[in-house]
Structure 1
């Protein structure tokens, strides 16, 4: 009987040893996944961000002024060139000024982005407006239809 109890105690201790190893393995996997999630959250933001986030990157910040109408177009160009930037509205002046802050080391990329942006803006201004062309053609179509109606009315009047 004593021998039987000893066997059961040994079997129980072996099972708990295996169980604790499995639990330890699962807990280590969970811990490592949590650490990885935190590391992913701590990565530096890219593209448009707040001025505070940009300053935290310790890269020296420069700024340029931009008009309100060009903000969205600039954002797409800056995204294309991978520029980290922050927009700030300076409301102290009568028409508010908009400033684009960027890392000083991104100055060359910003220069290239502005060249492309200004070329795109100039080509857009030189292209004729489709809406204006449609309005002109719409007026011409109305005139043609009015002339057709006059001709039809004259023909009907002659036939009577």
Structure 2
């Protein structure tokens, strides 16, 4: 019984004048390539995809607007939640709008992902900027150095 389940039979029809090993090999390679193409077509893409691929999945699409600066950061959050989405740039307006399309059944996951994304974004904005602090410290260091140089000049002037 187990042997019957494991065995698969295929029918391969070849028109040839003389059947040789080379002809049989080429025909088997062609058959396997066609079978692989069919399997690849059946697989549904996940994550970021084109709007056309997303529409082919017949799931009903919803969209939200996002800013250009947040696109890359949003992709990581969407990947974490396993959301299939497509980005579309609406260039008819100035400045252009960016829309994120997603499946209607992913609306709950999208809501959760956006809550996490916005919380992460707010926490980043509330943290002090390391670059600004570094720039302030550089300015203080320049002022201290200028003060030291003035003191050295005064000491040199008194010593002479």
Q: TM-score if structure 1 supplies the norm length?
A: 0.77
Aligned match of 2:88: 88
Unaligned runs of 5+ in 2: 1-18
Aligned match of 1:41: 40
| Higher alpha-carbon deviation: 38-47 or 51-60 | 38-47
Aligned match of 2:155: 155
Unaligned runs of 5+ in 1: 1-19
Shift in Å, 1:59: 1.0
CA distance in 1, matches of 2:81, 2:23: 46
Shift in Å, 1:113: 0.8
SS in 1 for 2:98: strand
Shift in Å, 1:25: 7.5
Greater fraction of residues in helix: 1
Aligned match of 2:74: 74
Shift in Å, 1:102: 0.4
Shift in Å, 1:26: 4.5
Aligned match of 1:60: 60
Shift in Å, 1:158: 1.9
Greater radius of gyration (CA)? 1
Total equivalences in the alignment: 142
SS in 2 for 1:64: strand
CA distance in 1, matches of 2:81, 2:31: 34
> Residue by residue, what CA displacement relative to the aligned partner does 1:7-53 show, whole Å, maximum 9, x if unpaired?
xxxxxxxxxxxxx7966884675356414531453122211111111
